Structure 1
Amino acid sequence: MKETATEETVTVEPPLPPAPGAEQYPSLALVNSVIAVPGGQFVDLLGTPAAANRWLTDRGLAPVDAGMRDMCAAQLRSLREQIRALFASRVEALPPLPAALAAVNDALTRVPTAPLLQWDEKNGPYRAAPHPTTEIVDHALATLAADAADLLTSPAAERLTACGSAPCNRYLLRHGRRHWCSTRCGDRARAARAYARRTRPTTDRTG
């Protein structure tokens, strides 16, 4: 899927609310950070370093002054596509792409998970996970990858589905029979079905 639009070139008015489950699982929010809009365009909430920094800051994954660079934003977008591929494989009951699995596992192993021994001159020894500024992006990627792994291996994965209203490309955690990520998408799907019924040939309706 080619995603070249940025949040500066295409806007969604009013903005879509988070899809069901996206506030609980940051990896779901990550996958949904590129939004298909009518006309074959995309809104990419990670389209620039500043936008990527803002997205991470909003989720407590980076400080406001992290100074995101192009390469860092590109790494985040790359992980997004690999997690999206894994979500698609899970929803469609298809084998996962090896590259997608490798990318998530690579992100998981980039940073140490065990709290290391630190030593403060004033208070003495203590244990804490290292989190220097230079590793902010690696920690964010590891956190998002771990969240995706948790989601895919949890009972909630049974409720993972793609929004059923074209052209929407967002994923959600289904509640009941709902297959739409927002009221807007639900209204659009119902309108499309009503239009299809009105325009169906008479012979099809009576036959």
Structure 2
Amino acid sequence: MKETVTATPVLPPAPGAERHLALDVANTVIALPGGRCVDLLDTPEAVGRWLAERDLAPAGIGLQELCAGQLRPLRDRIRELFAARAGGLPAPGEALTAVNEALTRAPAASLLHWDPARGLYRAPSHPLTQIVEHALAVLAADAADLLTGPDAERLIACASTPCNRYLLRYGRRHWCSTRCGDRARAARAYARRPRPGTG
């Protein structure tokens, strides 16, 4: 069981996250040494801030949990698809369904409504809901593009335990950050050290 911590680790974006919002959202849940975990989208305020920083919602949107809570399950399904792709496994059906549903949820037009005083009129069903559904559709589309485009071959999981982030491999780099690379090199050096009584 992972312990969730509230202090946000200072990590640079993983390679490729600057080009793919889906990679960026997948990496908002971070495994830390000692079985600890940080969720950068753990509150409605954090979700609103994350969306605003990526121009997917206006600043200070004031999301409630009902709307904000839709992003975390999509993130988890995107992570499942990334894990399957990086591991050379079939795509999980539930993850495909979730991404496809997000792709089709964003309304293309304002809906037709009836009001006795106004008569027929067009308006979004709920402005905040429409903003969130648009953001989910953008993230789902980016995930689909990443998984089916030229970058799919470079999608890997960070090779440093316990890190759970994904990245696009550049050259021989298999780590999401310098911190993870240093940790992996230190673990390899430690494993090569002679043990007392073995020499």
* 1:84 lines up with 2:79 in the alignment: yes
| Residue in structure 1 matched with residue 121 of structure 2 by the alignment | none
**Of 86, 92, 105, which aligns to 2:100?**
105
Q: Which amino acid is 1:81 matched to?
A: D
With the length of structure 2 as denominator, give the TM-score of the two structures: 0.86
8 Å CA contact retained: 1:28, 1:171: yes
Q: Which amino acid is 2:94 matched to?
A: A
Q: Which amino acid is 2:7 matched to?
A: V
Counting matched residue pairs gives 185
* 1:188 lines up with 2:183 in the alignment: yes
* 1:156 lines up with 2:151 in the alignment: yes
How far off is 1:70 after superposition?
Answer: 1.1
* 1:37 lines up with 2:53 in the alignment: no
Q: Which amino acid is 1:23 matched to?
A: E
Q: Which runs of 4+ in 1 moved over 2 A?
A: 2-6, 130-134, 199-203
Q: Which amino acid is 1:151 matched to?
A: L
- Percentage identity across paired residues of the two chains: 65
| Residue in structure 2 matched with residue 50 of structure 1 by the alignment | 45
User: 1:29 and 1:199, CA in 2 relative to 1: closer, same or farther beyond 3 A?
Assistant: farther
How far off is 1:200 after superposition?
Answer: 4.7
Aligned pairs for 1:68-147 within 5 A: 68-113=63-108, 132-147=127-142
How far off is 1:50 after superposition?
Answer: 0.4
User: 1:112 and 1:161, CA in 2 relative to 1: closer, same or farther beyond 3 A?
Assistant: same
How far off is 1:46 after superposition?
Answer: 0.1
Q: Which amino acid is 2:144 matched to?
A: A
> Where do 5+ consecutive residues of structure 2 fail to align?
111-123
Q: Which amino acid is 1:146 matched to?
A: A
Q: Which amino acid is 1:188 matched to?
A: R
Separation (CA, whole Å) in 1 of partners of 2:3 and 2:141 = 27
| Residue in structure 2 matched with residue 119 of structure 1 by the alignment | none
Separation (CA, whole Å) in 2 of partners of 1:144 and 1:63 = 16
Q: Which amino acid is 1:159 matched to?
A: R
Separation (CA, whole Å) in 2 of partners of 1:89 and 1:5 = 25
How far off is 1:72 after superposition?
Answer: 2.0
Three-state SS of the structure 2 residue aligned to 1:36 is: strand
How far off is 1:38 after superposition?
Answer: 1.1
* 1:198 lines up with 2:193 in the alignment: yes
* 1:11 lines up with 2:8 in the alignment: yes
Separation (CA, whole Å) in 2 of partners of 1:4 and 1:148 = 28
Deviation digits for residues 46-70 of structure 1, max 9, x if unmatched?
0000011101111000111211111
**Of 17, 22, 43, which aligns to 1:27?**
22
Separation (CA, whole Å) in 1 of partners of 2:152 and 2:141 = 14
Separation (CA, whole Å) in 2 of partners of 1:96 and 1:172 = 18
